[in-house]
Structures are given as C-alpha cells and as structure tokens.
Amino acid sequence: MTRAEFVGIAEDLQIYYQREHLFETERAVELWFRELEEFTREAVEKAMRHWVRTERWCPSIADLRKLAEEVSKSKAVDLEAIQD
C-alpha cells in the first residue's frame, strides 16, 4: 500500500471514530502507515470495513493487522463477503 492510499484509509478511520483523534499529528499517520504498509490497500480497507461493522470500539493497529493478514491469506470468509 502506498502512503497516499493509507491517508485515505486514515481519513475514513478518523470519520468513523471522531472522538478518538487518531491522526492529529503527522507522526501518528507515519506510525500507523509504517505498521500497515506491507498489506494492500484492499486488504486494509476490507479489514477496516469489517471492524466498523462488527465492533463497538476503535481498532488498534494490531486489530487491523490481524484482519488484513486474514484477508491477504483468504482465511476469513466473513471478510470476503465485504465488497467495495
């Protein structure tokens, strides 16, 4: 995933979780990107969409990494059902 693609995901996360102030600094964006950049935009986006539909709290980096890995390995049937 490119940094520009991640910025779009970060913007979405900030909209979904406005109270959390996740990306108030450039450093926060950089740290989240660094930990998620190995995945495709599609995998992280599907992970994020699954999370916001099924969980009540804001995801951590680890939460999104776990789901993105499952998407990448095609292990999570529920995540495959989420279409763009």
Taking the C-alpha atoms of 23, 26, 30 and 32 in order, what is their torsion angle to the nearest 10 degrees? -10
List the Cα angle 56/45/62 in 5-degree steps: 60
Residues 6+ apart with CB under 8 A from 29: 6, 7, 10, 23
- Residues 33/6, Cβ–Cβ less than 8 Å: yes
pLDDT band at 83 (very low <50, low <70, confident <90, very high): low
Specify whether the CB–CB gap between 80 and 43 falls below 8 A. no
Q: How confident is the model at residue 27 (pLDDT cuts 50, 70, 90)?
A: very high
% of the chain residues with pLDDT over 70 = 88
Q: What is the pLDDT of residues 42-79, one digit of tens each?
A: 999 999 999 999 999 999 999 999 999 999 887 554 55
